[in-house]
Amino acid sequence: MPVIVLASPKGGVGKSTCAVLLATQFARMGAEVTVLDCDPNKSITRWSKHTMPDGITVHSDVGRSEIVTLIKASDGDGKIVIVDLEGIASQLVSRAISQADLVIVPMQATALDAEIGSEALALVREEEEALNRTIRHVVVLTKTSAAIRSRVQRELEEQLQESGIDVIQPSLVSRAAFSEIFAYGRDLTDMLNDSTMKTGGNVAAALANAQAFTEAVYERLK
């Protein structure tokens, strides 16, 4: 099954949030999910210290020297591998991209995120050439407004599409539940059904957003 790599040399764009949402939603679909936490901030590892949903295994502190072998060992039919990378330009990032079936580049709708995120997109294209292998890559806009599609977001989406870059719809909306999942562990469905997990946000809307996002990712893996 596929190897999904979350890559952007910029930190704070939502790579770990995307990783957790995809891992939990694919696990809900019945997949055996392995998450490789390569981020020195260890967001995924912190999340995994709470009660973990069934079907998810997390490997922490994955470095440059073991990334390729660990992806190879975790990959297989019936399994999904999700790689959460560090927010810097490193050899670890380029190696992980080489093993990907799908590279997701999360970015906020800002010029800075777009500029730095485009470095990852350019790297994917160069690796495709060097390895003579197609590596599917997409952009997902993160932390967007639930109420309106801003002018900046609209323009950025248009620019990306004009450049031939696949932009996942829906974007990931800025939701309290997406942040709170790191404090509580488990997943959004548990959060919706468990009254002790208080987020103050619209969990149902967050869950619907995560499901639609995962569905869009799934469509690109087929």
Partner 1 sequence: MSGSNRLSGLKASTKPTAPEDIRKVDMVGESRGFVDRTPRKKPGRKPSPRTMQLHPKVLPDIGDRIVEEAERLGMTQGQFIEHLWRQYENQARTE
Residues lying near partner 1 in the complex (CB under 8 A) are found at 1-3, 9, 25-26, 28-31, 63-65, 68-69, 71-72, 75-80, 88-95, 97-99, 101, 119, 122-123, 126-127, 130-131, 133, 211, 214-215, 218, 221-222
Q: How far is the CB of 97 from partner 1 (least distance, A)?
A: 8
Q: Is the Cβ of residue 109 or residue 207 nearer to partner 1 in the bound state?
A: 207
Q: Is the Cβ of residue 1 or residue 197 nearer to partner 1 in the bound state?
A: 1
Q: Is the Cβ of residue 95 or residue 143 nearer to partner 1 in the bound state?
A: 95
**Which H or E run includes 93?**
helix 91-98
The residue behind tokens 């590279």 is 103
Q: Is the Cβ of residue 72 or residue 198 nearer to partner 1 in the bound state?
A: 72
Q: Is the Cβ of residue 151 or residue 222 nearer to partner 1 in the bound state?
A: 222
| CA proximity to 46, closest of 19, 82, 25, 81 | 19
Q: How far is the CB of 132 from partner 1 (least distance, A)?
A: 9
State the Cα angle at 203 between 58 and 177, rounded to 5°.
Answer: 50
Q: How far is the CB of 91 from partner 1 (least distance, A)?
A: 4
Q: How far is the CB of 70 from partner 1 (least distance, A)?
A: 11
| CA proximity to 123, closest of 85, 83, 89, 166 | 89
The torsion angles phi and psi of 83, rounded to 5 degrees, stand at: -110, 115
DSSP 8-state code for residue 51: P
Ramachandran region of residue 186, left (φ > 0), alpha (ψ -120 to 50) or beta? left
Cα–Cα distances in angstroms (integers) from residue 219 to residues 2, 60, 169, in the given order: 12, 28, 11
Q: How far is the CB of 90 from partner 1 (least distance, A)?
A: 4
